[in-house]
């Protein structure tokens, strides 16, 4: 029995227009967190925060007054949007998400609706425009990150986090639950809503080349309480920008359900729940489109001067996650946090190069692919595009053979065989040996890894094509 919702998902199943098809094919993206928090970079008066650097305003190491005046020093003289875009292109990113406004409320574009913007810094120039232009020129689609939380607006109010089970229960059981403490607060929140709407319409108007909005900080009960209004705003934004892509973090249904509504349908265009985490199986994804946004250190999005505080992911780690994400029908997005002068730190440049070198050879296994017909095997992940199946090997078996379990044919007299297999680096053909059959009647093949490939000590890709043949034409092992 379906619950009648006014503000749940407005569609069952996936969006299938050209803009969304393109989104689905990106494979790899770049996130950039840049704002005034890059100036302290997690440190102030000789003290270092171990928390996320982009949350520095709340670190306790800086007063709010000091933080709110940092923008007067923001002058990233080394910022070169074209250089950033070129580096992203070389890494293999096909879309980029940029923080136009994080929780602190500082706007990287010259918003008409507040003075707390880039226009009032020594730098003055519109950073959002520079980035949209430079990345678009490199053929990389741009998405605008926008935080609903805005600590700079006098009308902003939280009311608590709807993700907390206690608050959600109160919200759902309270009939017409009111998160506001005073009428005045509620009125000021109306100002905040108008302000938020104005800014979003402004972004959509100013940057028509961008493809979508990536929302964050939408878990406040005050925001959730306004689900009907948010829904209308979403429609307004979509009407202004046909094809606009919005993830599941913008709005909730009227019952306070986020991402997935009370009927289990995905709200808006793709599932935004995977922050610093990946689903494990295709079942976990519920068949939704999704992206995963990932930090390079453990939990630093904005620039933090001290990266010795946590494990720093290697290109290998990030490549593994990229391929895994794509084998489960998601896009993988790697975050960068440039410093206050506009430099991308050397560690990130090195990582981008490492990922890019691998992508240069193996991109076919990542771009435009989906989950393959093969069952997951321990050596790694498989992806598929049309008839081509890509086996990306991360755990190389000790015997230098990659075992492939082919699907079972729907027809009793037919079986699948590997018609062709090649290593995509160097394009050399692979030798396929018989791998036997198990007691359930599934067939296996062993692809022999030549020494040249095996010695390289890096993940490699085997491209195979399957063919259905008459069972009699293959030796049958009992």
Task: Decide whether 51 or 367 has the Cβ nearer to ligand H79.
Answer: 51
Task: Decide whether 25 or 275 has the Cβ nearer to ligand H79.
Answer: 275
Task: Decide whether 216 or 446 has the Cβ nearer to ligand H79.
Answer: 216
Least spacing, CB of residue 51 vs ligand H79, in Å: 4
Task: Decide whether 312 or 417 has the Cβ nearer to ligand H79.
Answer: 312
250: nearest Cα among 10, 5, 3: 10
Task: Decide whether 37 or 379 has the Cβ nearer to ligand H79.
Answer: 37
Least spacing, CB of residue 102 vs ligand H79, in Å: 6
Least spacing, CB of residue 302 vs ligand H79, in Å: 7
Task: Decide whether 54 or 291 has the Cβ nearer to ligand H79.
Answer: 54
Task: Decide whether 216 or 269 has the Cβ nearer to ligand H79.
Answer: 216
> Residue 254 corresponds to which tokens in the numbers above?
């009227």
Least spacing, CB of residue 335 vs ligand H79, in Å: 8
Nearest-10 crossing angle of helices 81-91, 346-362: 40
Least spacing, CB of residue 106 vs ligand H79, in Å: 13
Distance CA 201, CA 250 (A): 15
Task: Decide whether 61 or 464 has the Cβ nearer to ligand H79.
Answer: 61
Least spacing, CB of residue 337 vs ligand H79, in Å: 10
User: Do residues 221 and 171 lie in contact, with contact meaning Cβ atoms separated by under 8 Å?
Assistant: yes
Task: Decide whether 91 or 293 has the Cβ nearer to ligand H79.
Answer: 293
Task: Decide whether 275 or 317 has the Cβ nearer to ligand H79.
Answer: 275
**Residues near ligand H79 (CB under 6 A):** 33, 51-52, 54-55, 216, 275, 293, 301
Least spacing, CB of residue 301 vs ligand H79, in Å: 4
Least spacing, CB of residue 271 vs ligand H79, in Å: 15
Least spacing, CB of residue 37 vs ligand H79, in Å: 9
Total number of residues shown for the chain:
478
Task: Decide whether 8 or 40 has the Cβ nearer to ligand H79.
Answer: 40
Spell out the SS3 assignment of the chain.
CCCCCCCCCCCCCCCCCHHHHHHHHCCEEEEECCCHHHCCCCEECCEECCCCHHHHHHCCCCCHHHHHCHHHHCCCCCCCHHHHHHHHHHHCCCEEEEEEECCCCCECCCCCCCCCEHHHCCCCCCHHHHHHHHHHHCCCEEEEEEECCCCCCCCCCCCCECCCHHHHHHHHHCCCCCCCCCHHHHHHHHHHHHHHHHHHHHHHHHCCCCCEEEEECCCEHHHHHCHHHHHHHHHHHHHHCCCCEEECCCCECCCCCECECCCCCECCCEEEEEECCCCCCCHHHCCCCEEEEECCCCCCCCCCCCHHHCCCCCHHHHHHHHHHHHHCCEEEEEEECCCCCCCCCHHHHHHHHHHHHHHHHHHHHCCCCEECCCCCCCCEEEEEECCEEEEEECCCCCCCEEEEECCCCCCCCEEEEEEEEEECCCCEECEEEEEEECCCCCEEEEEECCHHHHCCCCCEEEEEEEEEEEHHHCCCCC
Least spacing, CB of residue 105 vs ligand H79, in Å: 13
Least spacing, CB of residue 240 vs ligand H79, in Å: 25
Give the sheet arrangement for strand 28-32, strand by strand.
Answer: 245-246, 212-216, 141-147, 95-101, 28-32, 330-336, 290-294, 271-275
């Amino acid at each position: 029995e379906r619950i009648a919702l006014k503000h749940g998902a407005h569609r069952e199943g996936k969006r299938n227009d050209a803009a969304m098809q393109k989104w689905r094919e990106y494979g790899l993206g770049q996130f950039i967190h840049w704002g005034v928090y890059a100036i302290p970079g997690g440190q102030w008066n000789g003290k270092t925060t171990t928390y996320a650097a982009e949350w520095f305003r709340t670190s306790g190491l800086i007063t709010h007054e000091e933080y709110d005046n940092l923008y007067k020093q923001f002058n990233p003289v080394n910022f070169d949007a074209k250089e950033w875009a070129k580096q992203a292109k070389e890494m293999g990113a096909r879309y980029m998400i940029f923080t136009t406004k994080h929780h602190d409320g500082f706007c990287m574009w010259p918003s008409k609706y507040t003075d707390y913007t880039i226009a009032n810094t020594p730098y003055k120039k519109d950073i959002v425009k520079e980035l949209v232009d430079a990345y678009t020129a490199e053929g990389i689609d741009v998405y605008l990150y926008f935080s609903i939380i805005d600590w700079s607006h006098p009308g902003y109010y939280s009311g608590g986090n709807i993700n907390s089970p206690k608050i959600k229960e109160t919200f759902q059981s309270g009939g017409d639950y009111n998160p506001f403490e005073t009428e005045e607060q509620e009125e000021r929140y109306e100002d905040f809503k108008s302000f938020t709407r104005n800014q979003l319409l402004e972004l959509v108007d100013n940057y028509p080349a961008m493809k979508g909005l990536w929302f964050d900080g939408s878990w406040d009960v005050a925001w959730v309480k306004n689900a009907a209004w948010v829904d209308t705003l979403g429609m307004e934004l979509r009407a202004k920008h046909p094809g606009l892509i919005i993830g599941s973090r913008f709005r909730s249904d009227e019952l306070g359900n986020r991402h997935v509504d009370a009927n289990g349908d995905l709200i808006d265009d793709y599932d935004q729940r995977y922050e610093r985490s990946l689903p494990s199986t295709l079942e976990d994804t519920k068949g939704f489109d999704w992206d995963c946004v990932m930090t390079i250190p453990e939990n630093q999005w904005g620039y933090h001067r001290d990266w010795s505080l946590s494990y720093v992911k290697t290109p290998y780690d990030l490549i593994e996650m990229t391929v895994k994400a794509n084998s489960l029908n998601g896009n993988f997005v790697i975050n960068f946090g440039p410093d206050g002068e506009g430099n991308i730190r050397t560690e990130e440049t090195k990582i981008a190069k490492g990922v890019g070198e691998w992508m240069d050879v193996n991109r076919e296994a990542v771009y435009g692919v989906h989950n393959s017909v093969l069952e997951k095997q321990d050596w790694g992940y498989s992806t598929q595009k049309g008839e081509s199946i890509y086996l990306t090997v991360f755990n190389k078996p000790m015997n230098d053979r990659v075992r492939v379990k082919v699907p079972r044919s729907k027809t009793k007299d037919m079986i699948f065989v590997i018609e062709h297999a090649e290593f995509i680096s160097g394009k050399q053909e692979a030798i396929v040996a018989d791998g036997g059959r198990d007691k359930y009647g599934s067939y296996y093949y062993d692809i022999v890894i030549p020494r040249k490939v095996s010695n390289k000590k890096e993940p490699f890709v085997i491209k195979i094509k399957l063919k259905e043949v008459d069972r009699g034409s293959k030796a049958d092992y009992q």
